[in-house]
């Protein structure tokens, strides 16, 4: 907040053209914010920009001239002019730290950095930047255009102004906010991932088939989809990474990742994004 009112975000850099990064790009462009997309893979950027354009033009309510609002590049230097950069690269701390070290020198000093991490410590990631006070977690839910919620996570050094700008950005997108302290997997995934892991244990132990487990939880608990289907949507690599953060962060056996989840990830069966997980999407 300033004397002139809330600070509006006019340009967003998105790091990672995966399922989350593309969703964040889509909702930001829809809100009239300029988006610069960056990924290590040039193919992913080209495909991603096509997908975002297609999604926006499918949305009949929008008649935005998006051509000047969405750009992509495989050079991180092109994020230099952004007001806010949201990192949505693979859930791996070493990758994220490396991205921040390359990003910080090219940003303007007042720019904010956010991470979309599902589970990693915001305080520790902030330490890999030159601006821990201007760093926070902006955790979108999947699929971003559909889900109403954004979970905001403050690290120990995040300033009140940074938090308020992020609240303002969420409002620009028309999203609802909940706020979590910086603790392993925050609120939503602290609750949801152990449920998914338990469903995988039930499958592993032969308690029920994939269909029986999903049907039971979907209809029995009135969830929009079963936990195994949800795991496929999240990505099994991301599910495993979150369970490992919970397991290590709390040193509690109740968060032990199911061996069947580990096996699927080792097989490269990562869910919908690779065409195969608990269900077959090929």
Q: Which residues contact ligand NAD by CB under 6 A?
A: 15-21, 39-41, 44, 88-91, 95, 99, 116-118, 139-140, 142, 234-235, 238, 273
Catalytic residues: 118, 139, 151, 189
Nearer to ligand NAD (CB atom), residue 33 or residue 141: 141
Nearer to ligand NAD (CB atom), residue 83 or residue 232: 232
Closest contact distance (angstroms) between CB of 37 and ligand NAD is: 10
Return the percent helix, strand and coil in the chain, to nearest 5: 50, 15, 35
Closest contact distance (angstroms) between CB of 210 and ligand NAD is: 19
CA dist 279 and 268 (Å) reads 13
C-beta nearest to ligand NAD: residue: 18
Question: Coil, helix or strand for 181?
Answer: strand
Look-up of token digits 């790009």: 25
Nearer to ligand NAD (CB atom), residue 34 or residue 38: 38
Nearer to ligand NAD (CB atom), residue 160 or residue 178: 178
CA dist 143 and 53 (Å) reads 16
Closest contact distance (angstroms) between CB of 68 and ligand NAD is: 23
- Pairing state of beta strands 135-140 and 149-154? antiparallel
Question: Per-residue b/e over 155-175, b at no fewer than 16 CB within 10 Å?
Answer: bebbbeebbebbbbbbebbeb
- What is the token pair recorded at 149? 């919620």
CB 137 within 8 A of CB 15: no
Closest contact distance (angstroms) between CB of 20 and ligand NAD is: 3
- What is the token pair recorded at 113? 């950095």
């Amino acid at each position: 907040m300033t004397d002139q009112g809330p600070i509006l975000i006019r340009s967003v850099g998105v790091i990672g053209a995966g399922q989350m990064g593309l969703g964040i790009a889509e909702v930001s462009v829809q809100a009239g914010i300029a988006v610069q997309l960056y990924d290590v893979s040039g193919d992913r950027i080209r495909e991603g920009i096509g997908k975002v354009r297609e999604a926006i033009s499918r949305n009949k309510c929008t008649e935005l001239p998006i051509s000047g609002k969405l750009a992509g590049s495989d050079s991180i230097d092109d994020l230099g002019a952004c007001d806010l950069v949201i990192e949505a690269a693979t859930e791996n701390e070493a990758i994220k730290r490396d991205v921040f070290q390359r990003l910080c020198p090219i940003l303007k000093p007042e720019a904010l950095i956010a991470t979309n991490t599902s589970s990693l410590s915001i305080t520790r990631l902030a330490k890999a930047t030159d601006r821990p006070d201007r760093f926070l977690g902006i955790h979108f839910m999947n699929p971003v255009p559909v889900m109403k919620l954004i979970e905001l996570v403050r690290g120990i050094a995040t300033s009140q102004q940074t938090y308020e700008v992020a609240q303002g950005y969420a409002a620009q997108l028309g999203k609802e906010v909940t706020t979590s302290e910086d603790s392993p997997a925050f609120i939503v995934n602290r609750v949801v991932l152990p449920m998914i892991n338990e469903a995988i244990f039930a499958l592993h132990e032969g308690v029920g088939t994939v269909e029986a487990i999903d049907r039971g939880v979907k209809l029995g608990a009135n969830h929009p989809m079963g936990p195994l289907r949800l795991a496929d949507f999240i990505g099994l690599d991301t599910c495993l990474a979150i369970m490992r953060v919970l397991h290590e962060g709390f040193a509690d056996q109740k968060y032990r990742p199911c061996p069947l989840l580990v096996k699927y990830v080792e097989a490269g069966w990562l869910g919908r994004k690779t065409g195969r997980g608990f269900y077959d999407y090929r």
